[in-house]
Structure 1
Amino acid sequence: MRRLRTLCAAAFVAATAFAAASPAAAAPFHVIRYADTGFCQVWDNGFPTNPWPVHYTVLTHRQPTYEHAVAVKGWLLNKHYCSL
């Protein structure tokens, strides 16, 4: 029983290390704008569903990181393409 627990723990550590290494190549981010309110949001394309409500427009091309997408969103807010 002890060997089984050790094996499971080792498999969990290996899977966690693999998962931590792979998000760098994960899905890119976009900045989207809702048509009704003008509110902008950073959207992760790796999320398995579409944004809700469905009346939105994608404002940017693919952004490599979340931080970069937030910076682009800040620029769009500053230029009044988005509202708070």
Structure 2
Amino acid sequence: MSRFTTACIVGGLAAASAFASTPAQAGYYILRWDNTGICQVWSEAFTFKPIRWPSGYKIVSRPVPTFNEAVNLQVRLRRQGRCTL
């Protein structure tokens, strides 16, 4: 085998292994804080949950796949009067 062919095979295997090892995209959802009514975009990729002090929160949406969709959903909830900010 020529060096070029070997380099292409090694590069292809490296790219395939990098693609296979990347985790699936996490979703985003909207939280509504009880004391202020503010809605916040939260990612499922975070390894921790929001702290419930000094206020609690409620999840007011189903998970959406992209941050853009989550922001659009947050704006829609604000227009409906379900969120203050």
Residue number in structure 2 paired with 1:50: 49
CA distance in 2 between counterparts of 1:22 and 1:75 reads 32
Q: Alpha-carbon deviation of 1:26?
A: 1.7
CA distance in 2 between counterparts of 1:82 and 1:52 reads 19
The amino acid across from 1:66 in the alignment is: F
CA distance in 2 between counterparts of 1:80 and 1:22 reads 39
Q: Alpha-carbon deviation of 1:22?
A: 3.7
Alignment partner of 1:48: what SS?
Answer: coil
RMSD, aligned CA: 2.4
1:68 aligns with 2:45: no
Specify every segment of 5 or more residues in structure 1 that has no aligned partner in the other structure, as ranges. 1-13
The residue correspondences of 1:1-84 to structure 2 (distance < 5 A) are: 18=18, 22=22, 25-53=24-52, 55-84=56-85
Give the structure with the larger helix fraction.
1
Residue number in structure 2 paired with 1:8: none
TM-score (ref. length: structure 1):
0.69
Q: Percent of aligned positions with the same letter in both sequences?
A: 32
TM-score (ref. length: structure 2):
0.68
CA distance in 2 between counterparts of 1:35 and 1:79 reads 17
4+ aligned runs moved over 2 Å, structure 1? none
Higher-Rg structure is 2
Number of residue pairs the alignment of both structures matches? 68
Specify every segment of 5 or more residues in structure 2 that has no aligned partner in the other structure, as ranges. 1-13
CA distance in 1 between counterparts of 2:44 and 2:57 reads 14
